[in-house]
Amino acid sequence: MDSFKVIENIRLSESTFRLRTERPNVPIKAGQCFSVGTKELGINREYSMYSAADDDFIDFLIREVEDGIVTPALGRCKPGDLVEIGGPYGEFCLPIQAIAEDSFVFIASGTGVAPFHSFIKSFPWLDYKLYHGIRHEDEKYESDDYEPSRYITAVSQPANGNGERITSVLSREQMNPESHYYLCGNRQMITDTVQILRERGVPGGRILMETFF
């Protein structure tokens, strides 16, 4: 585990921040995750990379957990502070041979959108559609990075009280069984979404999952 300087730490919502650090000098693929923490705590958590694979920094999209240990410490980090980073790890990545020719459907809840943001920033020409389930309107983190027609949200706790979950949106959508489906977020969303996809004829081999929490 090596130490890297914090470049910036920006609040994107009341409970979520984007932590930017120096980049480890190792090969990195979009969709991979890193173990991140502070030396003082001696405890790390894994976070998917939020930035593009070829950026000269690493971004992490982190939701601060109430009464947590690691996330409040990371949320207090200032430029110049050191954080410990290990990795990258994981194979929640795009098939290189399919990036230029195939279509992709990304389905996320909350900060589970992080690897999909990395995919889209890494491959601007990607044929994608991104479904994002959030609780509040201010959780459309940096949505300007997505083409409006390709970014669909479902807000479960909007100010007007008429909420909807992302699985309700998906149940009304057409699903191409030839697309690649990537799911990232909470376990219940993933379980319900897999059922919807399989009922629509999407083969299991076209579905890749990563459970955040």
Residue 69 has pLDDT above 70, yes or no: yes
How distant, in Å, are the alpha carbons of 38, 85, 163 from that of 2? 11, 6, 43
The pTM of this model reads 0.95
Q: What is the DSSP letter of 102?
A: S
**Does residue 211 or residue 28 have the better pLDDT?**
28
Average pLDDT over residues 20-33: 97
Predicted local distance difference test score (pLDDT) of residue 161: 79
Average pLDDT over residues 9-32: 96
The answer to whether residues 158 and 142 belong to one domain is yes
Distance (Å, rounded) from C-alpha 112 to C-alpha 133? 9
Q: How many domains does the chain have?
A: 2
The answer to whether residues 179 and 120 belong to one domain is yes
The answer to whether residues 130 and 76 belong to one domain is no
The last residue of a domain, from among 89, 105, 129: 89
CATH code: domain of residue 197:
3.40.50.80
Residue 145, SS3?
A: helix
The answer to whether residues 141 and 159 belong to one domain is yes
Report residue 66's pLDDT band, with 50, 70 and 90 as the boundaries.
confident
The answer to whether residues 82 and 100 belong to one domain is no
Distance (Å, rounded) from C-alpha 107 to C-alpha 212? 13
Element (H, E) at 193: helix 187-199
Predicted local distance difference test score (pLDDT) of residue 160: 81
- Could you tell me the two tokens for 26? 């190792």
Residue 75 has pLDDT above 70, yes or no: yes
Predicted local distance difference test score (pLDDT) of residue 213: 63
The answer to whether residues 139 and 174 belong to one domain is yes
**Does residue 98 or residue 202 have the better pLDDT?**
202
The last residue of a domain, from among 89, 123, 141: 89
The answer to whether residues 110 and 77 belong to one domain is no
Predicted local distance difference test score (pLDDT) of residue 60: 98
The answer to whether residues 121 and 203 belong to one domain is yes
Residue 153 has pLDDT above 90, yes or no: yes
Report residue 13's pLDDT band, with 50, 70 and 90 as the boundaries.
very high
The answer to whether residues 104 and 177 belong to one domain is yes
Residue 205 has pLDDT above 70, yes or no: yes
Average pLDDT over residues 27-45: 94
* Torsion of Cα atoms, 129 then 34 then 60 then 54, to 10°: -70
The last residue of a domain, from among 26, 57, 89: 89
- The domain in which residue 105 lies consists of 96-211
pLDDT in tens, 110-139: 999 999 999 999 999 999 999 999 999 999
The answer to whether residues 176 and 105 belong to one domain is yes
Mean pLDDT estimate for the chain: 95
Average pLDDT over residues 19-40: 96
Q: What is the DSSP letter of 49?
A: B
How distant, in Å, are the alpha carbons of 104, 178, 185 from that of 93? 12, 18, 15
Distance (Å, rounded) from C-alpha 60 to C-alpha 9? 10
- State CA 146 to chain mean position distance: 13
The answer to whether residues 75 and 124 belong to one domain is no
Average pLDDT over residues 78-106: 95
CATH code: domain of residue 31:
2.40.30.10
Percent with pLDDT over 90 in the chain: 89
Which residue's entry shows tokens 């173990």?
35
The answer to whether residues 137 and 162 belong to one domain is yes
Average pLDDT over residues 152-168: 91
Closest CA to 51 of 82, 81, 8, 104: 8
